[in-house]
């Protein structure tokens, strides 16, 4: 990739104009990524464009001080850009640079614009399910997703926790299991909330559940989220049938709604798994000025990138690369679990093919 760097302070109108002239003269209308850099060297923003020159010039036309572009230019004194062979390559490079530099303006916009949510199985003595906006990399929790609709997801997670008797109290609530030695040294403990009394929690806070019993409920939750176990749905269905037979129609209707939320959740998981499983192929992208590239995509992630083979020898080398990838593949994470470091790339790749269905037709299956 070629690179052009400009470092000119443009605090004044004259300096800004000099910067504009430099971009106008030096930048080309090719795909690529760019960075806005502060005088202290902080990368403020990373962006990508199919036409770098046009994109950068548009920043200098921001008339309103509150515009995002104007705000960034006020803080930056340099723009640095590099060209990529295609728009797809620019998207990938933009993501890599954002992950590397965590630019302030990207993070601000990301939190404004993203509507994804994840189910988190929070790591603790008694793990609990909760809905979060984004995974964090600094704990041993397990994440499922991403999903659209945090509120709907929250309702489904509540049903799942209720159905399995998992706790939903604050993470720092003290847990006292029935097989914990200290239990015998303390006076009887009352549960921290009403959920134990009404049968929606097995009560790991008040010595009502053993470690193994709670762990088995957590394991059922994981199995459900990974599509291996339908227990919570079956149990709700049976309760609903019993309620109808007893002509308790109000309860039956409430159970029907709960059932629906869980079924929706299961369906969304199935869709996610399907997306991950189907995004495995080689994808040849026509490059700018003949720089065509082949991407080897496995479970929605770009595992390798190289120039499009031009000879039989190149094709054999590509085949060998795919073969070794299959041979050396790490055991798959549980279905539905996307490694946290990979979520953004998976989302980028799946949204690219959703927006460009014709491109999907140009892919070729991976053959080991
Ligand atoms: S019963 Fe105890 S463990 Fe269960 S949710 Fe309430 S406080 Fe938490």
C-alpha 161 – ligand 1 centre gap (Å): 11
Question: Is the CB–ligand 1 distance for residue 149 below 6 Å?
Answer: no
Question: In the chain, where are the structural domains located?
Answer: 3-113, 158-271, 279-365
For 5, list phi and psi in degrees, rounded to 5.
-120, 135
3-113 homologous superfamily: GIY-YIG endonuclease (3.40.1440.10)
Question: Is the CB–ligand 1 distance for residue 173 below 6 Å?
Answer: yes
Sheet holding 142-148, edge to edge: 128-132, 116-122, 142-148
Contact predicate 118/66, CB 8 Å? no
Q: Which two tokens stand for residue 221?
A: 């939750």
The whole-number pLDDT of residue 334 equals 52
Question: Is the CB–ligand 1 distance for residue 166 below 6 Å?
Answer: no
The whole-number pLDDT of residue 99 equals 86
The whole-number pLDDT of residue 65 equals 66
Residue 169 alpha carbon, nearest atom of ligand 1: 8
What global pTM score does this model have? 0.65
Element (H, E) at 96: helix 87-101
The whole-number pLDDT of residue 111 equals 46
pLDDT along the chain (368 residues), means of 10: 43 73 92 90 93 92 73 83 95 92 77 66 93 76 80 89 94 89 68 90 93 95 87 89 91 89 83 75 90 90 90 90 77 55 79 88 83
Q: Write the CB contacts of 250 (distance below 8 Å, at least 6 apart in sequence).
A: none
3 state SS of 130: strand
C-alpha 86 – ligand 1 centre gap (Å): 53
C-alpha 269 – ligand 1 centre gap (Å): 27
Contact predicate 249/143, CB 8 Å? no
Helix, strand, coil shares, percent, the chain, to 5: 50, 15, 35
How many residues does the structure list for the chain? 368
Q: Strands 281-285 and 364-365: what pairing?
A: antiparallel
Question: Is the CB–ligand 1 distance for residue 205 below 6 Å?
Answer: yes
Question: Is the CB–ligand 1 distance for residue 203 below 6 Å?
Answer: yes
C-alpha 240 – ligand 1 centre gap (Å): 25
Rounded CA gap, 348 and 85, in Å?
A: 17
CA 141 to chain centre: 14
The whole-number pLDDT of residue 210 equals 94
Residue 175 alpha carbon, nearest atom of ligand 1: 3
In eight-state DSSP terms, residue 206 is T
Residue 193 alpha carbon, nearest atom of ligand 1: 6
């Amino acid at each position: 990739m070629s690179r052009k760097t400009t470092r000119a302070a443009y605090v004044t109108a004259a300096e800004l104009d000099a910067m504009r002239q430099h971009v106008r003269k030096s930048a080309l209308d090719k795909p690529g990524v760019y960075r806005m850099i502060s005088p202290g060297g902080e990368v403020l923003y990373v962006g990508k464009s199919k036409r770098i020159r046009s994109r950068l010039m548009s920043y200098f036309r921001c008339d309103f001080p509150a515009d995002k572009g104007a705000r960034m230019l006020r803080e930056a004194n340099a723009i640095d850009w590099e060209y990529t062979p295609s728009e797809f390559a620019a998207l990938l490079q933009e993501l890599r640079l954002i992950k590397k530099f965590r630019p302030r303006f990207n993070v601000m916009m990301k939190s404004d614009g993203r509507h994804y949510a994840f189910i988190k199985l929070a790591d603790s003595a008694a793990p609990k399910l909760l809905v979060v906006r984004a995974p964090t990399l600094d704990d041993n929790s397990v994440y499922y997703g991403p999903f659209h609709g945090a509120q709907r997801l929250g309702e489904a997670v509540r049903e799942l926790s209720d159905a399995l008797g998992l706790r939903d109290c604050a993470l720092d609530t003290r847990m006292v299991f029935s097989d914990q030695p200290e239990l015998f040294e303390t006076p009887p403990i009352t549960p921290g909330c009403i959920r134990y009394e009404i049968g929606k929690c097995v009560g790991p806070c008040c010595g009502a559940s053993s470690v193994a019993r709670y762990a088995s409920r957590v394991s059922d939750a994981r199995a459900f989220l990974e599509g291996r176990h339908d227990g919570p749905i079956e149990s709700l269905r049976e309760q609903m049938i019993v309620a109808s037979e007893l002509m308790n129609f109000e309860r039956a209707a409430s159970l029907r709604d709960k059932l629906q939320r869980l079924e929706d959740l299961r369906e969304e998981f199935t869709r996610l798994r399907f997306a991950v499983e189907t995004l495995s192929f080689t994808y040849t992208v026509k490059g700018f000025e003949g720089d065509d590239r082949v991407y080897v995509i496995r479970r929605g992630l770009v595992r390798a990138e190289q120039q499009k083979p031009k000879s039989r020898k190149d094709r054999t080398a590509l085949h060998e690369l795919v073969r070794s990838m299959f041979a050396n593949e790490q055991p798959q994470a549980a279905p539905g679990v996307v490694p946290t470091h990979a979520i953004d790339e998976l989302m980028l790749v799946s949204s690219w093919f959703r927006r460009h269905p014709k491109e999907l037709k140009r892919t070729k299956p991976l053959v080991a």
